[in-house]
Structure 1
């Protein structure tokens, strides 16, 4: 097992990464000062596989945990579904020390975290991410949110979990597409922070794709270490944390234009990463060879580099509704090498549109 600490003063917590973490979860709950009643939020994909197992572990640890299931998919990240969960929490008699557990992928984590942050002005929150994407991205860092019809994650908060348990046994039931979508965010960490990690992915593509235990543990732990290092320095995205948004400006536009259904988040991020690398290359920040390394690794890890169902004009309009846009200026995270990025808000429209055009299947 690997343990990664997220250092945030009184809000510090541990991420536990390994195979078979039932004992660690049980011990954590037994030593936490939780109330006896708890709620496990899961979805229609994960709940039937692991809901009863987690409920049993929590019962053995002394919790009376109700499993509440929401429909799988991005549409559950809504205020309507959130209201249903608030109602359930009230009916269950949850109090201010009652923990809420998120058992599932990123949608479940974001939604359950939003409930935990706002129910009774904040109750304990524990992440149990079951997808590779959630393990390396949304479960770490304390961003919780629901979507609005005009944009993704526009209603949310910064709210840190008490702990994150990444039991890699739970990934054995993941479809191949879900593995690939997680790799989109993993590539990002190498680009923004660690050129050696990027090289590791280039040199170990098959064991990475197969989630061979040693490779899987390393790449998940390293991704979490990088995110933890960034979040520890900038919890609420005042500066450095913006680098975690590399690839996301274009990705969010792609997701919006395709109704949040055609592409998984990591797939959209992969396309956005290539788009951001393209802009970086056009501006002379990186050499064409580095741009090609990004394209090649993305393709080799079975991720898309172009999107269907989008237009340049619509995508360009969408980026001005992005949370990272301030005073009408889009804050782009761009490469200045493999392993390092810079933030720029002066990218010309023609450069952006050219990169977008290259990412669209006409």
Structure 2
């Protein structure tokens, strides 16, 4: 174990064998007074300089390699747990981005070239992915992926959820997307400071509020998909960035399950998939608010029609039916017209 110092002056131990990433704390992020972020069993912010932390960890963790972030600052990664270099399309090679690696379900964009990433992983006995030549661009932004000779369970999971590149065929017609489809494929992007002002759905808003509580360093987001009727709720898929400008890092991928106005954040896709396969119990379905309101509306409507047919409908029954129907339509109208009226 190696000892470092938290900003409050307390000493803490870190096991070098568990470290996956070391980097400088971006300005305005992390804990006040900290200089280095260490990702291992959890995220630690310490006051020691990044180079000093990396040197101490590297003395025992021989698979620690030094690379560059897009802004030029150094990042140290455990080459035995990352997968790379991952191919980056030409359209994504902006703001200093030259390559990327995968760490579990997260993509880390780098300023180091694919060859530098390849050589660094190989130099410590790791297994780099095949270097890929630039492929012809067809005008669409296809998510980058890499080919590994030996895929471990994590890579198999990534392979199962990563979009595949379509096979080229001269007989396939060119499909043009409508403006709405193009907007949807680009995702909903924004900063966490402006989520109150952004045109989000109710579920997206709840998801972002939960995500900000989960990752307080998050500065901006990209909601690239939502899946309805998942695990008894709505699954929101998000990419999150930390920092701004040259200090920006990420994206970090999260899945947020929104159920009954509450968001639960997951960072492990396999855990998310297991959660989604759980079936909602019959009792939970029966006591769900929409089910209760629908049943009450049916009973009141049936009773009102029976009493009306015999010419003796109580006035209170008509008032109750009107109230329930009014609440039903009001609730649905509020959900569609005021999506940001969720949990704040």
Do the two structures share a fold, i.e. TM-score over 0.5? no
How does the TM-score come out when normalised to structure 1? 0.26
Q: Which has the higher strand share?
A: 2
How does the TM-score come out when normalised to structure 2? 0.27
In terms of Rg, which structure is larger? 2
